[in-house]
Amino acid sequence: MSEHEVKIPARQARSYAIRIGSDILGSVWPQMDAEFPKRGKFVVTDRNLASAGHLDRLLGQRQVATFVIDPPGETSKHVNTVISIVEAMEKAYLGRDSLIVALGGGTVGDIAGFAAAIFKRGVPVVQIPTTTVAQADSAVGGKTGVDSSISKNAFGAFWHPAAVYIDVATLNTLDERQFRAGLVESVKHALIADSQYFDFLEDKLNDVLERKLDVLEELARYNCRIKGNVVEADPNEQNQRRMLNYGHTIGHAVEAASGFELLHGEAIAIGIIAAGMIEIELQLGRPDRLDRIRRILEKLGVPVKLPHNLAEDELIDLMKRDKKAVNKWPRFVLISEIGGVFCRQGQWAVEVDPDVVAKVLQKL
C-alpha cells in the first residue's frame, strides 16, 4: 500500500462588516452593489416581510429575482424549501458568481444561509435580519440550517455572512410577542458577557419596549459586539461558543415539552431562571442576583415559571436527549457573576449533579 498526504491549508481568516442604523433599508442595495459589484443578486424573504413593505423598501424600483417563503415561519424551514430556492436560482440563470440576500427573521436567515452554503458549492450570503432574535443572534455567527421531516436543523452548515445590515426600524412591524421574546437573547448576552449591558437593559427597558430607534441601535451594537467576540474566538463551536447556550439546556427541554407553544425566547427565559437557581444551589450566586434577573424578564412579559402542564420527568428525559449531552446528561453553562461565565478546567459548560437539577425543576 502506498500513501500520499494531501495538506489542506487552514482557511484564510475572513472578516465581515455589521452595519447598524435606523431606516437604512433603502440605502443597502447601492452599498451591496459597491461591495459585491459583479455578483448577480437573489433575494430570499417571506410573505410577512413583503406585505409589511420591507421588500419594496429594500429593492426600490429594481427588478431582482426573489423567492418569497410562504407560509412564513418554522413550517417552511424544511429542506424542500431549499430545493425550491436552488431551482429558482437556476431558472434565473444565476451561477457561482451570484449572491443571496436574506431579508427576514431567523427562519429566512437560516434557510437562505444554508441555500447559499450549498448552491454551486457555495455563494456569499448577506444577512438583513428583521426580528429581535435575528438581529441579536442568528444573523451573526454563521450557523445555517433547515429541518428534516424528523428533526430540527438536521441539515446544516457553518456559512458566515459576507455582510450584515441591521435596520432597527424594521422591528416596528414585528408582532409584540415575538419582539419581547426575542429580547431574552439580549438579556442572555448581558448575563454572560457584560454587566454594563445589563445595567443598560435595566435602565432603558421601557425605551426598548417603546421601540425607540436610537435605543434599539445601541442594543444592536451591544449584541453584535458580544456575539461577534464569542464567534471570533470560536467560529465553529469547539468550546467557548458554548457559553451562548446559557439558559438553553433547560430552556430547550421546556420549549419541546410545551409542544412549541412557547416561543424560543419564552422558554429560554425559564431556562435562565433555572440556571440562576442552580447557581444558588452550587453557591455560584446569591438570591439577590437572581431577583434582578427575574425582574427584567418579568418586565419583558416572558414567563419565569414552569407552566403547570409540564412534567419534570419529561423535562429530564428531554435533557438526556440533548444533542450536546455526554453519557446521556447535558452540560450546563453557569455564571459566577453578571457578565461572567463560570469556567471550570477550561470548560464553559460544566457538569451538574442530576439531583440538583431535579430539585430546581421542582421549585421552578
* Active site members: 121, 143, 185, 227, 237, 241, 245, 248, 252, 264
**CA dihedral sign of residues 79, 138, 13, 349:** negative
Cβ neighbors of 221 (< 8 A, separation 6 or more) are 20
Q: Which of 148, 299, 253, 355 is nearest to 245 (CA)?
A: 253
C-alpha to C-alpha distance for 80 and 103, rounded to whole angstroms: 19
Residue 78: strand pairing partners: 147
- Select from 28, 32, 42, 48 the one that contacts ligand NAD (CB under 6 A): 48
- Write down the least CB distance from residue 69 to ligand NAD, Å: 8
Residue 66 φ/ψ, nearest 5 degrees: -140, 140
Region near ligand NAD per CB under 6 A, out of 86-94, 99-107, 285-293, 313-321: 99-107
Q: Which of 110, 255, 279, 322 binds ligand NAD (CB under 6 A)?
A: 110
Tell me the closest approach of the beta carbon of residue 210 to ligand NAD, in angstroms.
16
Closest CB to ligand NAD among 171 and 278?
A: 171
How far does the chain reach from its first CA to its final CA, in angstroms? 62
Per-residue binder mask for ligand NAD (CB under 6 A), 266-305, x = binder: ----------------------------------------
For position 135 contacting ligand NAD by CB under 6 A, the verdict is no
The C-alpha cell that represents 149 in the structure block? 421531516
CA distances from 87 to 45, 83, 102 (A): 16, 6, 17
Q: Rule CB under 6 A: is residue 72 a binding residue for ligand NAD?
A: yes
Q: Exposed, middle or buried, 309 (CB in 10 Å: 0-12/13-18/19+)?
A: exposed
- The candidate with the shortest Cα–Cα distance to 128, out of 20, 234, 41, is 20
- CA 330 to CA 162: how far, in whole Å? 33
Say how many residues touch ligand NAD, by CB under 6 A: 28
Q: Is residue 77 close enough to count as binding ligand NAD by CB under 6 A?
A: yes
Binds ligand NAD (CB under 6 A): choice among 22, 66, 98, 170: 170
User: Quick check: 143 binds ligand NAD (CB under 6 A)?
Assistant: yes
Q: Does 46 bind ligand NAD (CB under 6 A)?
A: yes
State which of residues 57, 67, 94, 137 lies at the interface with ligand NAD (CB under 6 A): 137
Q: Where on the chain is the footprint of ligand NAD (CB under 6 A)?
A: 46, 48-49, 52, 72-74, 77, 104-108, 110, 130-131, 133-134, 137-138, 141, 143, 170-171, 173-174, 178, 182
